[in-house]
Amino acid sequence: MLDHDYAVGLRWTGARDVGTVSYRSYGRDNTLSADGKLHEIAASADRTFHGDADRWNPEEMLLGALAQCHLLSYLHVAATGGVVVVAYEDSAVGRMTQTSDGGGRFTSVTLRPVVTVADASMAERARELHAEAARKCFIASSVAFPVEHEPRIVVAGDPATGDAAAG
């Protein structure tokens, strides 16, 4: 087995003038950074929890990490499995349940990838590969809730499968 180590820096930027004197006295703004990255990520809490709606919140970043991990795993198994993917989009959704003690947890995430393949002969195999990609996704294998998949396969240039670029 190989170990891979990752490091991310976080800097809280919401201290305002008084810090955490009260629950409403401080901002939830922060930045995430990593060595070698060109840009920081401007983050905050969800608006529900007094955060800045213009910034990424941890819940959105978790969904993004799951969607991106599945994409990357999927592209790998497609390339090694003879399926030519020419486009890929996802609309991930997740449910978090808040508990009476102020905590909470995600209870489910559903990925809804729309995969465009180069040829109709690849469509069935493209659908099957989602299961293999799910097993290989490091992030999905690390969470304690189900990550479901509702893929849709589109054939490039085929209006019958919904390719907008057809014709």
pLDDT along the chain (167 residues), means of 10: 86 88 88 93 92 94 96 96 96 94 93 95 97 96 96 91 62
- CATH fourth-level superfamily of 58-161: K homology (KH) domain (3.30.300.20)
Q: Is the dihedral of CA 53, 57, 59, 61 positive or negative?
A: positive
Q: What is the pLDDT of residue 166?
A: 46
Q: Where in the chain is the domain with CATH 3.30.300.20?
A: 58-161
| 108-129 burial code (b ≥16 CB/10 A, e <16) | ebbbebbbbbeeeebbeebbeb
pTM score, whole prediction: 0.88
Beta strand pairing call for 30-33 and 152-155: unpaired
